[in-house]
Amino acid sequence: MYNDKVIDHFTNPRNVGEMPDADIVGESGSFKCGDTMKIYLKIEDDKIADIKFQTFGCGAAIASSSMLTEMVKGKTLAEAQQVTNDDVAAELGGLPPLKMHCSNLAADALQDALKRYREKKKSVHP
């Protein structure tokens, strides 16, 4: 059902865990399955200096989050904003159609974190 890349990221996820000193945290949840995701970002010079994730999601969600963190680490916020769930699934070499919604969890949590960061910056420097 899953290709080797997906299985690798699922069994050996990168950047998993909590980040107590995160600059911002993003969250998402799936209406389809009820699973949830948190993404923690450390931001320096408008770039993602560090990223971690935690999820109560399935294997595809874990693999998608792991891949997403590798894709955006070191990227500018503007670059990270362009990353979609389709990009993550493509980078993983594809996900089964029934599991495509799982990749939304990671991308949605990242976009939520970036949105919250923009709002936080606006409230500090209106």
Catalytic residue numbers read 33, 102
Give least dist CB 98 to ligand FES, A.
Answer: 9
Nearer to ligand FES, 60 or 72 (CB): 60
Give least dist CB 121 to ligand FES, A.
Answer: 30
Residue spans of alpha helices (H) in the chain: 4-11, 59-72, 77-81, 85-91, 100-124
For residue 25, the SS3 value is strand
Nearer to ligand FES, 16 or 33 (CB): 33
Question: Which tokens belong to 39?
Answer: 């993404």
Please name the residues in contact with 123: beta carbons below 8 A apart, sequence gap of 6 or more.
none
Give least dist CB 106 to ligand FES, A.
Answer: 9
Name the residues that contact ligand FES, by CB under 6 A: 30, 33, 35, 57-58, 60-61, 102, 105
Nearer to ligand FES, 16 or 58 (CB): 58
Please name the residues in contact with 11: beta carbons below 8 A apart, sequence gap of 6 or more.
none
Nearer to ligand FES, 23 or 35 (CB): 35
Please name the residues in contact with 93: beta carbons below 8 A apart, sequence gap of 6 or more.
3, 5, 6
Give least dist CB 41 to ligand FES, A.
Answer: 21
